[in-house]
Amino acid sequence: MYDRTWVWLDEIWHQAGTDERFPEGYYTHADSKVVNLFDVSLSSLFLVYSNQSYSPYSMVDFFYSIQEENGRIPEKYDLEAGQPVFDADNPEGATLPLLSYVEFAFYHKIGNKKRLKDVVPYLEKYFAWMQSSFMDKDGLYSVPYSAMHLGNLPREGAAFTVDFNAAVAIFALYMSNIGDILNDKELAFRYKRIYFSVKTRINSMMWDEEDRFYYDLDENKNRIRNRHIGAYWTLLAEIPNDEYASFLIEKLKDDREFGTDNPFPVVPASSKYFSEEGNGYRGGISPFCTYMVIKGLVNYGSFVFARECSIRHMYFILDTLHPDAEKQGDCWELYRPLAEGAATYPDGENRRRFLPMLGLVTIALMIENIVGLDISLPRKTVNWTMQSLEEMGIEDLSLKKNNITILASKNVRGWEIRLESEKLYYFTIQILDEDKRKTLPIPSGKCSMLIDKL
pLDDT single digits (tens) 130-165: 999 999 999 999 999 999 999 999 999 999 999 999
Q: How much is the pLDDT for 333?
A: 96
β-bridge mates for residue 419, sequence order: 406, 447
Once rounded to an integer, what is the mean pLDDT over residues 314-331?
A: 88
Instruction: Grade residue 325 by pLDDT with cuts at 50, 70 and 90.
Output: low
Give the lowest-confidence range in 224-238, 261-275, 401-415: 401-415
Across the chain, mean pLDDT equals 94
pLDDT bin (cut points 50, 70, 90) of residue 192 is very high
For the entire predicted model, the pTM comes to 0.95
| Nearest CA-CA partner of 66 in 56, 80, 51, 76 | 76
Give the model's confidence band at 191: pLDDT under 50 very low, under 70 low, under 90 confident, else very high. Answer: very high
What's residue 436's pLDDT? 87
pLDDT digits (tens, 9 = 90+) for 1-22: 999 999 999 999 999 888 999 9
Is 90 exceeded by the pLDDT of residue 323?
no
pLDDT in the model for residue 111: 84
Task: Over range 397-408, report the average pLDDT.
Answer: 80
At 13 the pLDDT is 96
Average pLDDT over residues 245-251: 98
What pLDDT is attached to residue 52? 75
Q: Which residues pair with 16 in a beta bridge?
A: none
State yes or no: pLDDT of 64 exceeds 90: yes
Q: What is the arithmetic mean of pLDDT over 236-254? A: 98
**What is the full DSSP assignment across 288-312?**
HHHHHHHHHHHHTT-HHHHHHHHHH
Indicate whether 284 pLDDT > 70. yes
Spatial distance between the Cα atoms of 183 and 288, rounded to a whole number of angstroms:
32
Q: What was the pLDDT predicted at 282?
A: 94
The band of 240, judged by pLDDT with boundaries at 50, 70 and 90, is: very high
pLDDT per position as a tens digit, 339-354: 999 999 999 999 999 9
pLDDT at 419 over 70: yes
Name, in order, each residue with C-beta under 8 angstroms of 19's C-beta and a sequence gap of 6 or more.
26, 79
Of 21-25, 48-52, 145-149, 362-366, the poorest mean pLDDT is in 48-52
**Contacting residues for 253 by C-beta, under 8 A, at least 6 apart:** 259, 305
pLDDT per residue over 20-34, tens digit each? 999 999 999 998 999
DSSP 59-105: HHHHHHHT--TTS---SEEETTTTEEE-BTTBTT------HHHHHHH
Task: Look at residues 65, 69, 135 and name the one whose alpha carbon lies nearest to residue 97.
Answer: 135
Any idea what the Cα angle at residue 359 is, between residues 358 and 360, rounded to 5°?
90
Domain map of the chain by residue range? 241-371, 384-453
Task: Judge whether 43 and 356 are in contact, CB under 8 Å.
Answer: yes
| Average pLDDT over every residue of 427-449 | 89
The predicted pLDDT at position 263 comes to 96
Q: Is 100 exposed, middle or buried (0-12, 13-18, 19+ CB in 10 A)?
A: buried
